Chain A
Amino acid sequence: MKITRRNLIRSASVAAAAVAAPSIIRPNEARAEPWITKGGTIKVGVLFSQSGALAVVENDSAQVVQYAIDEINANGGVAGMKVEPIIIDAKSDIKVYSEKISQLILRDRVICTFGGYTSASRRAVAPIVMARDHLFYYPTCYEGRECTQNIINTGPLANQHSQDLIPFMVKNFGPKVYFVGSNYIWPKESNKNAKVWLERAGGELLGEEYVPLGGSEFAPIFNKIRQAKPDFIFSTVVGDSDIALHKQFLQEGFKADKMPIAALTTGEIEVRAMGPEAGAGHFLSAPYFQTLDTPTNQKFVENYLKSKYGGGGVTHYNMEETYLSVYVWKAGLEKALAQAGDIEAVTPRMIRDASGGIELGDDISPEGKVWIDPDNFNIWLKPKIGQCQADGQFKIVQASEKHVAPDPFSIYPDRGVCKADGLHTPDGTVQKNVL
């Protein structure tokens, strides 16, 4: 064939089409490529901040995930395969969370990811996880008001968190309360929930103040508190600010037995950082305390502190919730495997759908039996109230008799009901992945 311009163009375009064809067909092939390959390892993503401001808490989260994975591997792994954590430092930077979650899903091809401590980081990864129909475990407390089909949560929702605490405080110290919080979404939503419980308990809200994240000047707020004379303070102040709050409470001459702080996050780690004398006498609502007197917890505390991850010397509600998330995943994977019959056929979507109703018994869960809600994929748990003692450990003064249901829309009933397939709105539509 003589090479004319027309021939050249024609053959070139045929060649181009031939070259391009595999990449057009490829998406189907990619879908067929298994997430877990027989004879390999089961890869999971571990996406926590090991540097930056969030590292205080998330470092422990990353360690406890590795601890749980080591424990699973030592007991034979999952379905006879070892679990391999892909550990990534999110550097307390929201951009890094969203970048690295893509890398974990697309390049490392993990079956799921454990990560995050703040709502900001959860919301940074959520759109990507949802777009890829992947699976993300958010292992700590959050405000609710979300209904996604790709995230499983193992910490208390706002409705579970303060339901017992507020009536307890009103009953024991009096009806008048002052709210102090950090200035971002979780404290504001938690306070909205707390107001509902406060109203039911016959309490009276005297004031509501927010400090910037990381802010540490509480003198103006304490001045107003002195003017308002509440019976107790309800605190949703987090992180470094929380420590400054408790220290300045002491310095201002307030007494924990006269006007205690009832908090949602001031646990063993925070008390260690502020000094036990600043923490003593105050209250915390959490599903887990290090002092919890169950054989499973004693074993957990002992083994964890003995392990190479236990250098911090304490266990903490956030660590325990993170620990649970790994076992929730393991149980979900085993159930999905039983349904699929073949490990190579298991997808993140199948694990998520199999996870509804997954139960961790007293023998695994340090906080006692918990299970995943089959509708909204948050966790059923028993909230407990602890009072900090002089040694920095908590004495459990009240434990819920019954499990409390997670309800992400408890104070927004007009938004609808969260079911496994999406948010069922009052006008009869089903919205997927509501953030």
Chain B
Amino acid sequence: MSVNDFWTPFELYSFLNALFIGLSVASIWLVAALGLTIIYGTMGVINMAHGEFIMLGAFSTYVFQTQLGVPFIVCIPLAFIVVGLFGWVIERLLIRSLYNRPLDTLLATWGLSLILIQVVRLTFGAAPLYVAVPAWLDFQVDLEILHLSGLRLFIMVVAVLLVVLTWYLMYRTTWGIRVRAVMQDKEMAASFGINTDRVYSITFAYGAGLAGAAGAMFGALKTLFPDMGSGYIVEAFLVVVVGGIQLAGSVLSALILGQLNSIFSYFTNDTFARFVLFSLIVIFLRFRPQGLLTEGLKRR
């Protein structure tokens, strides 16, 4: 293998391993995009602060872990609750008054993201921090065709759990029926006695909570710093938009995009893989702007 080769030579085991890495990348992107799917899909709010919700989840995990000594596995639901509550407050104070002005929610949430970044920077300083990985996740699956760290496997499992939980809430509970009714036609749902305000605030809080749980895991996998959200928001939006702004679509698009990214970067390199992937997405959206899967929902 020579350095000057642009293409990596094919080697079966490494390639199979690249496919597993693709699954891992897909699960990370999916976890990042899940909350956004709910908020954007249900409420039509383009939440530019979603990356910062992830960042808040990571930093709250850091605080729980270092200040209070809470074990990592408990930090994830705690981050969900903390960021969910925060999202609920934000919905009450800010998003609520902007439902009829979608472009303004874009600006308002972007402004919110800048505020959050600065507040965290002033509180924790600009230096990167880290969330310690617990000892029971410090293992590697080490087969010929498969090398995966325990943490990555754990994220894949949690991603599946979160998807199942969200699916259950949306399609198997009364709350889910209400949410989907509001999604399809707000006025009609309201006239049937559904409290749309409540549905909106709980949905937003749930979406924010998902971002918080994502942040808890990303803090362990990568680095904590105030701007970390911007590293996830692009992928999250791509997954959501390509998927068609609904749950099954996001799962499908995360799988496809993560897998393509891993395969391209296996054969060429990471930089080139991104170039190819983003180009493919642009071409795809040119011919199918509604995304992979769509429900016939009324756009607000």
Q: Show the binding face of A for B, using Cβ within 8 Å.
A: 51-53, 55-56, 59, 183, 205-212, 214-217, 219-221, 223-224, 226-228, 240, 243-244, 247-248, 251-253, 269, 272-275, 278, 312
Known pairs A220-B21, A224-B14, A248-B221; A274 contacts B121 (CB<8 A): no
Residues of A within 8 A of B126 (CB): 51, 55-56, 59
Task: Check A223–B147 contact: CB distance below 8 A.
Answer: yes
Closest to B266 in A: A220
Are B3 and A205 within 8 A (Cβ)? Answer: yes
In Å, the complex CA distance between A402 and B99 comes to 69
A216 and B58 CA atoms in complex are apart in Å by 15
A227 in contact with B147 given A51-B121, A247-B222 (CB within 8 Å): no
Contacts of A278 in B (CB 8 A): 130
Shortest CB–CB separation between residue B298 and chain A, in angstroms?
A: 37
Verify if B152 is at the interface (C-beta below 8 Å from A).
Answer: yes
Q: Is the CB of B133 within 8 A of A251?
A: yes
Of B42-50, B208-216, B267-275, B282-290, the stretch lying at the interface with chain A is: B267-275
For B223, list chain A residues within 8 Å (CB): 216, 240, 243-244, 247, 273-274
B227 at the interface (CB under 8 A from A): yes
Which residues in B have their C-beta under 8 angstroms from that of A212? 270-271, 274
Q: State whether B18 touches A226 (Cβ < 8 A).
A: no
Select from chain B the residue with minimum beta-carbon distance to A253.
B140
Inter-chain CA distance A312–B127, complex, in Å, is 9
Which among A208, A211, A227, A244 has the highest number of chain B CB atoms within 10 Å?
A227
In contact, B130 and A211 (Cβ under 8 angstroms):
no
* Nearest 6 CB-CB pairings of A with B: A253-B140, A251-B149, A55-B126, A273-B128, A227-B14, A220-B265
Cβ of B231: which chain A residues have Cβ within 8 Å of it?
Answer: 214-216
Inside 8 A of A206's CB, which chain B residues have their CB? 1, 3
- Mask: chain B, 70-101; 1 = CB below 8 Å from A; 0 = not: 00000000000000000000000000000000
Measured in the bound complex, the distance between the Cα atoms of B273 and A59 in whole Å is 34
The answer to whether A219 and B21 touch across the interface, beta carbons within 8 angstroms, is yes
Q: Is B115 engaged at the interface, CB distance under 8 Å to the other chain?
A: no
Q: Are A217 and B128 in contact (CB under 8 A)?
A: no
Cα distance A251–B24 in the bound complex, in angstroms: 13
**B1:A228 contact, CB within 8 angstroms:** yes
Closest to B262 in A: A220
Asked whether, in the complex, the Cβ of B3 is within 8 Å of the Cβ of A208, the reply is yes
Tell me which residues across on chain A come within 8 A of B152, comparing CB atoms. 219, 251
Q: How far is the CB of B198 from chain A (nearest CB, A)?
A: 38
Known interface pairs A205-B3, A223-B17, A223-B18; 9 further A-B residue pairs with C-beta atoms within 8 A, sorted by A's residue number: A207-B3, A220-B18, A223-B147, A224-B14, A227-B8, A240-B228, A248-B222, A252-B140, A272-B127
A227-B11, A253-B140 are known contacts. Are A56 and B128 too (CB-CB below 8 A)? yes
Residues from chain B with a CB closer than 8 A to the CB of A216 are 222-223, 231
CB distance from A55 to the nearest CB of B (A): 4
Question: Which B residues are CB-close (under 8 A) to A59?
Answer: 126
Is the CB–CB distance between B130 and A275 below 8 Å? yes
